[in-house]
């Protein structure tokens, strides 16, 4: 099970992903980002790659897809906030989108 990020680790995690377009929702202690792709097929392919990683990690994003846009929110429900799993998932999502 993951541990909730707190203090300096929490601030460092948010700073690390904010430079890549992730925003922090303090109320939910979650990070969010909208990914934009060339078309639906590219967006869906990206989601498929991310889904396979999510299954391996047993850590699943909250997301929605409309045409070429995928809105993502990451938080760890088991700890009611951000964990290292969210940061790792954000990094993997960014890498697949590049």
Average pLDDT over residues 37-42: 98
For the structural domain made of 23-97, what CATH number should be given? 3.30.1360.20
What is the pLDDT, as a whole number, of residue 30? Answer: 97
What is the pLDDT, as a whole number, of residue 14? Answer: 93
Where along the chain do its domains lie?
A: 23-97
88 CB burial (10 A radius; 0-12, 13-18, 19+): middle
What is the pLDDT, as a whole number, of residue 1? Answer: 72
d(CA 62, CA 14): 18
Q: In the predicted model, is pLDDT for residue 19 greater than 90?
A: no
Dihedral sign, Cα of residue 75, residue 90, residue 65, residue 25: positive
List C-alpha distances in Å: 5 to 22, 58, 81, 88: 16, 18, 8, 13
Average pLDDT over residues 73-78: 96
DSSP readout, 50-66?
HHHHHHHHT---EEEEE
């Amino acid at each position: 099970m993951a541990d909730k990020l707190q203090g300096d680790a929490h601030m460092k995690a948010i700073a690390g992903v904010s430079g890549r377009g992730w925003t922090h929702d303090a109320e939910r202690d979650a990070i969010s980002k909208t990914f934009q792709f060339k078309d639906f097929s590219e967006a869906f392919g990206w989601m498929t790659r991310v889904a396979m990683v999510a299954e391996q990690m047993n850590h699943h994003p909250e997301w929605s897809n409309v045409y070429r846009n995928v809105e993502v929110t990451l938080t760890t429900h088991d700890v009611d906030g951000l964990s290292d799993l969210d940061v790792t998932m954000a990094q993997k999502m960014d890498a697949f989108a590049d």
